Amino acid sequence: MLMRVHYTVCLIMIFKRGINVRFFEKLLCLMLCIALSSYCQERLIKPGDALEIIAPQSEELSRIVVVEPDGTVDFPAMQGLPVDGITLDRFKEVLVAQLSRYMESTPLMMVRFSESYPIKVNVLGQVAIPGLYQIANTATLQGAIGAAGGFVPGAQLSKIKLIRTRNGEQSEHIVNMEQFYLNGDPSVLPLLQDDDTIVVPGNPLATNVKVIGGVEHPGSYEVFFQTTLLDVIYLAGGPTEDANLKKIKIVSLSGQNAREVPIDIKNLLKSKSYRAIPIVVPGDVVYVPKKKVSWRKFFDIVRDLTIFATLYYLMVSSNKMRED
């Protein structure tokens, strides 16, 4: 309301006195800055706020502190300082009063709210470049893993471990990134805190899926997230004519029990039941058995036997003619 009155008064001054429009724009910007500054001073500090402390005379004292859940902050010579429910001006007065006891002159301090600040997190395990990274406090688990170069083949996205230490007590939380990629729900990704450790488990030796048996090109193939059994079979050139597609077997070497998956590919494709096709993961071995006797093999054998019998008959007949 007060800003609206000031704005109206300025308009009246423009029309009555002919004040330059550019001057009025500068005046209006100044009024807005004063209003915002007044709002920041009236805003009370609460847990979770990031406070930027600027000490021009002592750069080592300049830093960003985060208000703990109990409403306190840690600052040199002031551990566990309560700030919950006070204004920035009051916080600055406390800082100046406390620091003046240790400094020769009264320090010059400035304090303001900071919306974003850097935190350090450790990203370990099956990522491209494991290590310690500095990211924004607004970053999620996906942002931290992206900073480490992303996942490598063999990473277990459903068992990512978030380790957090608070007040000397360590807690662990399992995050299922597969659910995030499938459902696109960002609420499953926790916000990170300073000194968090992220561990991406997996088997570094298991990066491919082996396909053996009744396929055109048996071998080892690299697979990606949500690769199906049908996908990997066609990566291997597709099934051979004598492949038994009803008794395909997936043998897992990554700690899971061996499993046999009966599947009729023709029926699944015809009915478009794509969700029923199982997923393969790095370390799996896909075995496509061959039929014991296929019709083609049967006719091939009959053909070979016929040719052999015909040749044998011709040889015997030729020998008899020579004897006669």
Alpha carbon dihedral 155, 215, 286, 283, in 10-degree steps, equals -30
Q: Which residues contact 63 (CB under 8 A, 6 or more apart)?
A: 52, 53, 75
Three-class SS of residue 7? helix
Average pLDDT of the residues of the chain:
78
Domain 118-200, CATH among 3.10.560.10, 1.10.1740.10, 3.40.50.300, 3.40.50.360: 3.10.560.10
Helices (H), the chain: 2-17, 21-42, 88-100, 141-147, 177-183, 229-235, 265-271, 295-323
Task: Give residue-wise pLDDT tens across range 272-303.
Answer: 777 778 888 777 888 888 887 655 666 666 77
Superfamily covering domain 37-115: wza like domain (3.30.1950.10)
Provide the pLDDT for residue 30. Answer: 52
**For residue 55, pLDDT beyond 60:** yes
Range(s) within the chain of domains with CATH label 3.10.560.10: 118-200, 208-288
Q: How far is CA 79 from the centre of its chain?
A: 35
Percent of the chain with pLDDT over 90: 15
pLDDT band at 237; cut points 50, 70, 90: very high
Q: What b-and-e string marks burial along 119-134, b requiring 16 or more CB atoms within 10 Å of the CB?
A: bebbbbbbbeebeebe
Provide the pLDDT for residue 323. Answer: 67
Domain 208-288, CATH among 3.10.560.10, 3.40.50.80, 3.90.280.10, 3.40.190.10: 3.10.560.10
Question: Which residue from 91, 3, 80 is spatially nearest to 43, judged by alpha carbons?
Answer: 91
